Every structure is written in structure tokens, then in C-alpha cells.
Amino acid sequence: MSTSSKLPRLVISAGEPAGIGPDVVLAASQRDWPAELVVIADRGMMEARAALLGLSTRFIAYNLDIERISNAGTLSVLHEPLAVSAAPAQVESQNAAGVLAALKRAVQGCMDGEFDAMVTAPVNKAVIADSGVSFSGHTEYLAELTETPQVVMLLAANDLRVALATTHIPLAAVPTAINQSLLLDVLRVMDADLKSKFGIASPQISVLGLNPHAGEGGHLGMEDIEVIEPALQAAKSEGINVSGPWPADTAFNKRLSDQTDAYLAMYHDQGLPVLKYASFGAAVNVTLGLPIIRTSVDHGTAFDLAGTGDADPSSFFAAVESALDLVRVR
Ligand SMILES: NC(=O)c1ccc[n+]([C@@H]2O[C@H](COP(=O)([O-])OP(=O)(O)OC[C@H]3O[C@@H](n4cnc5c(N)ncnc54)[C@H](O)[C@@H]3O)[C@@H](O)[C@H]2O)c1
Ligand SMILES: N[C@H](C(=O)O)[C@H](O)COP(=O)(O)O
């Protein structure tokens, strides 16, 4: 056991209660961290999940005024009640309000300096949207809550970093969503945060094309020539080290990846399958551009595994470690 008033305080959202978020949070609570972990969740739901998983976690009520506690097997809980009782894999859209309230409380606490960083367990976008709230992901929601005009989703596993120019939108909407202004804003955020958060002095960003073979000289689509190339020229004129647009199918070859600090993919399923194939379970999702530190897992709610004890908590552990790294360099 270790206690110290100087420990970083990380706030954790347990995410969708019918998913594996509570499971991976409870797994993290079994470890000693150089930090106080505070989970915002329904305390009864967390206690029931711990019992189901056979974990003897000691739950204590979070209190800002008590000394920060880092103790394997102990978890501070900031109680955020759910509307109806939650069981693994039993989706209740009435509980979406509680899931969102936890995120709001975590963001407010980070903005106010109560917490040093937030780590999010997975939510289910459809469950929240089915509750009648317009919601497409944490990334977009945190941008809205913090009034940040441009955020960037980046997933990282060791030296492989993949950022997305567009996030949770239909594939059909991607070509019109990509414009020079967006790409330049995204590249600015990436350049700034790769320097300040990842300590890369002169980040090299490799940008993927949109069309097959980066448009094949315009024969397979014009966006690479008309939108991406001018955006890269504008970024270069600002001193940002960018190259591309690279044909996406071969851009992750060893030669280019050795020279790349981060890739910028044009859309979700252009970049993330590469990273998740290479590193599922070890990758961390970091939201760049926010005024607060936020990290997350590389996986979703995995209803098939909730409450079974088979959910691998590695990515959640990596997200906690990454948040602590970001707190140190802040
Ligand atoms: N950070 C987040 O909030 C986040 C991230 C990704 C997906 N999601 C959401 O999660 C929901 C379900 O998404 P999905 O089904 O595409 O992906 P998923 O990651 O939940 O599941 C994909 C597959 O991977 C397995 N898997 C996932 N996590 C695992 C773990 N920790 N250990 C072992 N196996 C694991 C699952 O059993 C499943 O077979 C969607 O609503 C999606 O939007 C949320
Ligand atoms: N796009 C993410 C992934 O596939 O891992 C995931 O949906 C989470 O996104 P948010 O962090 O915006 O919820």
C-alpha cells in the first residue's frame, strides 16, 4: 500500500454498464498504480460486477478532501446512479443518461483541476443514440463539452501512431467532409501535440490518400490532387513535416513506417484496422487538441465477454499508463 497527497488523481468512466468497461476497471483496481484511481459509476453496479467476477475489491466513497489513496484492491467510487439495474449484456438505453453524466462529471473535474486526467472505458454509441441523444463518440462529445473547435483521434501502440481526419461518420460522407481547411487544422493539432505530449521534437507525419493508389494521377478520383496535396503544401509552408498523399494500401511498409512518427488516415476504417491488427489489446486512444488529458482503450463494449472474466484488460492498463505519462510531461 502506498499513500501520498502528491499522487496524480485519474478519473475513470466505467462506460456502458452492460459491457466490459466495469470488468476492465475492476481489473485495474487490483493493481498498485502510482496514482489514485477514481471511478465514476453506479456503485451498486460495480459491486455486483466485482462479485460476479469473484473480486474482493474494497469500495470507498470518493472524497476530494481525503488523502489520495493508491492501494491494490481498493477503488474510490464517485457514485453516479443508473436509472435501472444493469447486468452484463443486457442493454438498457435508459442507462445512457447515467453514462453521459459520468463523462460530464469527469470532464468538469479535469477542467477544474480536481483530476489530472481522464481514462474512459468503452461506451456503446448505438445505446446512447437509441436513448434519443445525438452521440457519435467520446472524441466528438468531449470536443463539445470542452468547446474545442478541433480535436484529433489518435490511436497509438508503441511507435505506430494513427490519427484520423474524419471519425464517426458514414463512409459516404467522407469525401465531402475532407477539405483543405479541415486537413490543415488536423495537421496543426497533430504537430503541436506530438511535440508537447509525445516529446517528438520534429514530428514526421505521413498522410494517406483517399482513393485507391492515391487517385492514380486523377484517374481514380480527384480528392488526392485537389484537396489533400494543397493541404500538405499549406502545412509544409507552416513548417510542419508532412509527406504524402501515400497510397494507403502500401503506406505502412517498413521503410516508410520507420520514417513516420504518426500517420494521418482519411477515415476510420482506413487507418484503424492496420493498427488493431498489429496491436489489438496494446493500443491506446488519445484525444489530441483537448485542454484536458483523455486516454481510452482500443476496444469496444464486447457484450459477449461482459461479466465472464475473459475480457483482456491490457488496453485499459495501457490507457492508464499513457494518461500517467501525459500527466508527467504536462
Ligand atoms: N472507446 C470506446 O468507447 C469504444 C471503442 C471501440 C468501440 N466502441 C463501441 O463498442 C461497441 C462494440 O464495438 P465492436 O463490436 O465493433 O468492437 P468490440 O471491441 O467491442 O468487439 C470486437 C471483438 O473483439 C473482442 N474484444 C473486444 N475487447 C476485448 C477485450 N478487452 N478482450 C478480449 N476480447 C475483446 C470482442 O469479444 C469481439 O469479438 C460499439 O458501439 C462501438 O462503437 C467504443
Ligand atoms: N474509434 C474508436 C475505436 O475504434 O477504437 C472508438 O470508436 C472510440 O472512439 P471514441 O474515443 O471517440 O469514443
Report if pTM > 0.90.
yes
Mean of pLDDT values over 204-221: 98
Sorting pLDDT into bands at 50, 70 and 90, what band is 87?
very high
Task: Determine the pLDDT at residue 70.
Answer: 75
Residue 298 CA: which ligand 1 atom is closest?
A: 5
Q: What amino acid is encoded at 102 in this protein?
A: A
Write out the binding residues for substrate: 138-139, 276, 285, 294
Task: Determine the pLDDT at residue 1.
Answer: 40
Domains within the chain, CATH numbers bracketed? 1-148+290-330 (3.40.718.10), 152-283 (3.40.718.10)
Determine what percent of the chain is predicted with pLDDT higher than 90: 94
CA pair distance 107, 119, nearest whole angstrom: 10
Task: Considering every ligand atom shown, identify the ligand nearest to the alpha carbon of residue 282 and give its number.
Answer: 1
Residue 272 CA: which ligand 2 atom is closest?
A: 4
| Nearest residue to 301 (alpha-carbon basis) of 114, 22, 38, 8 | 22
Q: Are 187 and 231 in contact, with CB atoms under 8 Å apart? A: yes
Pseudo-torsion of CA 290, 291, 297, 301, nearest 10°?
A: -80
CA pair distance 208, 267, nearest whole angstrom: 10
Sorting pLDDT into bands at 50, 70 and 90, what band is 5?
low
β-bridge pairing 160-164 and 152-157 = antiparallel
| Alpha carbon distances (Å) from 90 to 115, 118, 144, 306 | 31, 26, 29, 10
| Alpha carbon distances (Å) from 78 to 81, 102, 194 | 10, 9, 32
| Nearest residue to 297 (alpha-carbon basis) of 311, 82, 99 | 311
Atom 8 in ligand 2: residue holding the nearest Cα = 137
Q: Are 19 and 303 in contact, with CB atoms under 8 Å apart? A: yes
Decide if pLDDT at 45 tops 70: yes
Task: Determine the pLDDT at residue 31.
Answer: 95
Question: 242 in helix, strand or coil?
Answer: strand
CA pair distance 284, 158, nearest whole angstrom: 9
| Alpha carbon distances (Å) from 230 to 172, 205, 246 | 23, 15, 14
Residue 285 CA: which ligand 1 atom is closest?
A: 1
CA pair distance 254, 276, nearest whole angstrom: 17
Question: Is residue 134 classed exposed, middle or buried when 0-12, 13-18 and 19+ CB atoms within 10 A define those classes?
Answer: exposed
Determine what percent of the chain is predicted with pLDDT higher than 70: 98
Which residue shows C-alpha cell 436513448? 131
Q: Which of 136, 277, 286, 301 to mutate to test the pocket of ligand 1 (most atoms within 8 A of CB)?
A: 301
Atom 5 in ligand 2: residue holding the nearest Cα = 298
Sorting pLDDT into bands at 50, 70 and 90, what band is 68?
confident
Tell me the average pLDDT of the chain: 96
Sign of CA dihedral 246, 252, 258, 261: positive
Decide if pLDDT at 66 tops 90: no
- At 294-308, the pLDDT tens digits run 999 999 999 999 999
- At 131-146, the pLDDT tens digits run 999 999 999 999 999 9
CA pair distance 287, 290, nearest whole angstrom: 7
DSSP strands (E only) in 190-288: 204-208, 241-246, 262-265, 284-288
| Nearest residue to 97 (alpha-carbon basis) of 121, 129, 136, 122 | 129
Decide if pLDDT at 3 tops 60: no
Interacting residues of 5 by C-beta distance below 8 A, sequence separation 6+: 67, 68
Residue 297 CA: which ligand 1 atom is closest?
A: 1
Write out the binding residues for a divalent metal cation: 168, 213, 268
Atom 3 in ligand 2: residue holding the nearest Cα = 298
Tell me the H-state helices in 222-313.
223, 229-237, 254-258, 268-279
